[in-house]
Chains A and B, each alone.
Chain A
Amino acid sequence: MSKKRTGVFVCHCGTNIAATVDVARVAKEMADESTVAFTQEYVYMCSEPGQESVVQAIKDNKLDSVVVTCCSPNLHEKTFRDNAQRAGINNFTCEIANIREQCSWVHADKAKGTEKAIKISRSVVRRVNHNKPMDAIAVPVTKRAMIIGGGVAGIQAALDIGNAGIEVILVEKQATIGGRMLQLSETFPTLDCSQCVLSPKMVEVKRHPKVKLMTYSEVQEVSGSVGSFQVKILKKPTFVDPDKCKICDHCTEVCPVVVPNEYELGLTARRAIYIPYAQAIPASFTLDEDACLGLNPVRCGKCKDVCEAGAINYDMRPQTVTEDVGAIVVATGFDLYDQANMPEMGGGKVEDVLDGLQFERLCSASGATQGHIMRPSDHKVPKDVVFIQCVGSRDPAKHCAYCSKICCMYTAKHARLYKKHVPEGRAYVFYIDIRSGGKGYEEFVQRTMEDDDTLYLRGRVSKLYRKDGKVRVLGTDTLTGQNVEIDADMVVLALAMVPSKGTVEIAKTLKIGRDKDGFLAEAHPKLRPVESVTGGIYLAGAAQAPKDIPETVAQAGAAASKVIALLSQTTLSRSPLIAKVRRSHCTGCGMCVDACPFIAIRLEGGKAVVNEALCEGCGSCSATCLRAAIDVKNVTQLQIHEMIEACLA
């Protein structure tokens, strides 16, 4: 084999690298490597002239491999591999040495930074020396998408993908789609009714010929990869046939079981057989198996007796269905921060202290009180209401460090809704700052302060407790320096948004990352905000970060367009960096067979054989093989040993 002709291209990244790494020395040291035929440095290698110079240098110097020492491969590996291909060499002979994120940005000492940059670069040069050209594996694309979560994000994404003519499966855990938005009374800054905006979309998605709705269902297992996922979905029994149910309500009239209504956030009770909301989709009752006396006519059976439509069937069983899809959108939404974590705010145990969503249900015409604001303890109209912002947010010492983004706006909305219902009442808002960035948002908050005469107090609440039938709120007004004591009839907490419980579970099922706060992690904070790190899995809505409805809808549309772009291809290329057996070295010991998590290796005629369709290229096999007979292509044992050597030279 003739010697490699590698080109090393050292990027200054302006001063991002050059300030703490002596780039000229890196280039010079690389030039001394026996396989390096060409070196070059440039201020911005990823700029158009930079990229052109790489292409030109490959052609002019007959290079057969390339190392670009620059930023993380997550940013520009594709850029430079594409350039390699453009210059006529195989893209898998191009590798990135990360001397920015892993070096220049984290080491201020230029001498030490330069030494480390040289080691990193040299190790990659040695690795590339053994890189083999190869072609991406073409895999067929399943032209179907799945959306997990049927809130406004999931509904929007389903409609957008369905309208492009692509089949969509919309999976929702609850008995109805609609999510959090369906619980809201009005939306800021226009104060239009949330249900009036959302319900038509819910109906549309139900009727859409390309959308298959699976409510009361949960994703259990996901296998496969981009373009071809296999998803196992558990369809929980509702014990009511939605096609037969006439929502006549006769069943709830006879059901003897009363449990708290989770859809009304515990403000009211429901029966064991129930419909979440009047606008629920599918428009059908659901029988809560855990609450029911026993799904047995001998035990009770009252609902079945009165159901004239014959919709109730106690023999329904959980069903597991497997669906093949090419892409997945995760839109699993948010929960509110648990009040139990906040004893200073009553820990959820002080009467007439509500969270924001409970207040929405109080205001909602479809809610527990038909839209009349009354306090839960004695059903009296509250005359003094304290709204507290940033409850659990912006508190890195004890709670969530981040800003939940929407609370300033919805608290202003709550104050206005309250004043609309109770014009003679008094509304107080405790705030740290007002963050009202958004179209028409600042004006909305100003109107709340001025037109609706809401008293905004800049400061935090230290404590609240029940006293003489009221809630005593102790706080500070930092603008006057005074302590404030308010005897409130009702208190509404703008609790921090946290990723929903379902989000935490689904992240584990899908093996997608979460950020430090637990929200789903996007592939790149600026350039790939709707993609997860895993190919073919996209993110939408508050599961990714706190956001309001317009942003959620925009992100859902963006995720949908990514799905459409992906699924409009007939084949996808899959990384060819998978395991390969050197038959001459294989003794057929079978250790790799046991190590493979994907059951991709089998023994045939005393030798290991890799199923290329199943292999994901994790390398577990190679780490067990003492004879280095099985290796992941371009990450071979030989290459790693040479990299180790280069790191320690």
Chain B
Amino acid sequence: MFLINCPYCKESRDQNEFSPAGEAFIARPQNPEALTDEEWADYVFYRTNHKGDHWEQWVHTSGCRKYFLVKRSTISHEVKEVATFGEVKGESAS
């Protein structure tokens, strides 16, 4: 159980209002036809599953229904940072 500060509603709300939507910064390949099977498998199925601070996508299901980014510890569940798409880049993921 934890609170998430929705960057659109600008309010800390119970996690129950939100739904997780997977690891962040996984961009759909620009040219899928050019990918090898391994690269495609990596995009579709393989995940970092990081232990520690992890950037992920959440959606405010029972609120504004917008998707955004959350940096959350997968060890303590503590939310470290929230951001809208574009505010942070993939490289800053840790």
A binds B: no
